[in-house]
A and B are shown apart, each in its own frame.
Chain A
């Protein structure tokens, strides 16, 4: 076992919440270790096309943060790791983390992708919702950080072509899982979300009908670096003439165990519909909804803009989807505002506005309380929304519940502030009295009040 790594803060997850918390803490002088399950940082956000309501390119605003984290002097990033356990010990925590083998030496790999080009095995690419391909030896995606290859050993045919192609001898089939130990003073849980599976509602035929896709799949179709480079339907490459969205397809549904509203689905569907009307100017775009919830600043105007652009908003309940010959789809629709009249509506492509569920069960590795909805519980939801039941551990973003990027980033910064107050001035500030002494002293009164609140809640 390697020697324990000492850090001020351990951040679990490197989606936009984990990235923001890590940067805020590192900028204040704390040593931060970011642990990420996937082979690249960036989480879900890096796969999105554009983000509402500003229509910023998601990659353009996520990549700089990924890069800043990767290059920050106070941040160490571990990708492709599994967190096994985080247990309180003394004033802090001991984490046990497994580094999964990439079968590529991270220090030697230069990200040239020659191994990927040489590899003869192609499998559906998870990053593209399976609509695109990757090889067994691959770099996760174009803007992945680190730009380090890995070998999906389950898809490897042991042909040795990657070894021959690698100009730096980075391929290393001798790698085995490594157990790493981290001593941290505090922990930020930013474990994110996953979407309700597209096949959760059998009557919508997601997972069996090729042209019934999830909203994250549509994000990839709309992204400029998406699998087809344009919006096509997956069954036959047809440019769709008619696209339908089904709202609440995985939220507000007791039968799925997801009784809550996922908050973001109305807005992302409206955003995607607007992007689609740009990508497919001749296409009819229909959103079948129960209620439209536009909760944030500028969101209602965003919705009204979509209506004025000619996107069809139909208050209706979709009972089922039938797949016709050649992949066409027929939706059985109950028109709520037309006395419940039932119509059969044909569409080329259907997007299920799937909801948000917890990305991980953190109790697998840390003893924090969860809410009934399985997201991390916070004992002070109004006044200290990032606290968890475990002193010294905070959470941020969709690990706490469904929310959009705006709220996630705010919460991530709040979590970082809570950790900073909990830890007191970082070692760096103490060491560099000339630079930071005044700032620390000026903050101390306010800090004392807030830190007292933190201690009270935690009973510490």
Chain B
């Protein structure tokens, strides 16, 4: 029972999402594609992106799930404040995030100076890429898991406690499985966000081949590079889309098998 009028904006919205990608496919130089994709200029950023995005996602899980639990089980006021703090990076332009990270960890930064004295330099390293990606991806995981935790409530946890289960057991065997779908969604979202991260990385980590040049930076470089055709950028974009689609499909089937 949908009002027919809704189909018009719905179609336009879908077209807006799909047509650009279709346009991209039309621009692909298919005969040259294998060579472009198998070149070191493509494979190296892809490898770096997959590794850094995976590490970032892992960090998001390790830090984000406990943070989500703390927020979900806090009193309403504290929870509201924490939730707002977590959401800020989500609504911030990533470029601003990059500047903020530099201000904290860069040369002359509050923590940067201390680390420098200890012989550690974060900016413009692969570690900086991971930190930038984690910075932008963490809110997605926290919000998704926290929502799932609040929906699940504490009733099952209370029952488990009256049966004799300690807090650790309850968390591992009851709480985590209960928020499984939310956890999966949050993980996928943060991985996708980390994989596509550009702005904060560009400012905080730079664009050094093999060290900090991830796929988005490689695409930007290829697109803007002097004397290079945009074919490379298109090919790399296609690769990134393919990776994203593969992950979504893998997660989708796993999810379906879990639910069945």
The finding on whether chains A and B are genuine partners in a shared complex, rather than unrelated, reads no
